[in-house]
Amino acid sequence: MVVRNCWHCHAYANMSLPALQEHFLYETGTDLIDCTFPKPDKMQEGDDNYFVIYQCDRCGYPNIAHYKHNRWDDDNDEPTLPIEWIPISAIGKEYPDVPKRVTSAASECHRCFSIGAYRATVIMARSVLEAIITEKIQDPANEHGKDKTLNMKLKDAADEGVISKRLGDLADAIKDIGNGSTHNIFEDISKDEADYVLGFMDLLIEETYQQDERLAKLAKLNQRLEQVKSDKLSGIVKEN
């Protein structure tokens, strides 16, 4: 069985060989070789790349698996894991209890990361961090009326209790990662650096939106419980 996150419907779906016999006069059904390219007569000497065109069981869109090794030697075995899928499936992230405008941008950072676009991940995640934190802190401008740096804002957020001290302590590294990217787009960004900024962004969203929302839900529930308790008490008073 061949499975992947389909690039089109994003489901983790089974990939099947397209049913060619529905359109062509293949009597034996579809063989792997029917969907494998290039064909033996087109293969270049020394090139061991080959591609199999599958069809997503869920949405029917084609997904191409890239394999390596000379599979023409063995029979019609199902190949092992592909070295890559084409197109790449960019995977976003869902954030319950977070405003749509924030989730849309934050999820896009994850999509960038999932396709290895680390520079784009960092530049965008820093912008998301900045947008959230600017709204939450008391004074985003410095004494000269100029916009504070992202790090100064994060420090303020920790001081004002907008974010936890623990998260505030991790903010320092953000200063060094990709700060140049906004000024120097050619700066290299590693996967670990992108992962760090992305993880920081997720924690910030968790602390600034998701915890708030959960606390609000808990407070509402608490109010209902208190109401029930006082109703019960007044019932007891009436009975007496």
User: 9 or 203: whose CB is closer to Zn ion?
Assistant: 9
Distance CA 112, CA 9 (A): 17
CA–chain centroid gap for 44, Å, is 38
**Min. distance of Cβ 120 from Zn ion in angstroms?**
25
Between 53 and 105, name the residue whose CB sits nearer to Zn ion. 53
How many residues sit in the footprint of Zn ion (CB under 5 A)?
6
State whether residue 226 is helix, strand or coil. helix
| Residue 53 engages Zn ion in binding (rule: CB under 5 A) | no
State the Cα–Cα distance between residues 149 and 167, nearest whole angstrom: 17
Helix (H) or strand (E) holding 112: helix 100-114
User: Which residue shows structure tokens 């209790």?
Assistant: 161
Region class of 60: left (phi > 0), else alpha (psi between -120 and 50), else beta: left
Question: For the range 210-217, what are the long-range contacts, defined as Cβ-Cβ under 8 Å and sequence gap of 24 or more?
Answer: 210/95, 210/96, 210/97, 210/98, 213/97, 213/98, 214/97
From the list 1-9, 152-160, 194-202, 220-228, the region that binds Zn ion by CB under 5 A is: 1-9
CA pair distance 161, 117, nearest whole angstrom:
33
6 contributes a contact to Zn ion by CB under 5 A: yes
Does residue 9 bind Zn ion (CB under 5 A)? yes
- Report the nearest approach of Zn ion to the CB of residue 60 (Å): 7
CB of 13 to Zn ion, least distance (A): 5
Among 33, 37, 43, 58, binds Zn ion (CB under 5 A): 58
Q: Check residue 56 for interaction with Zn ion (CB under 5 A).
A: yes
Query: Per CB under 5 A, does 2 bind Zn ion?
Result: no
**Interface with Zn ion includes 125 (CB under 5 A)?**
no
Closer residue to Zn ion (CB): 58 or 155: 58
Binding site for Zn ion (CB under 5 A): 6, 8-9, 56, 58-59
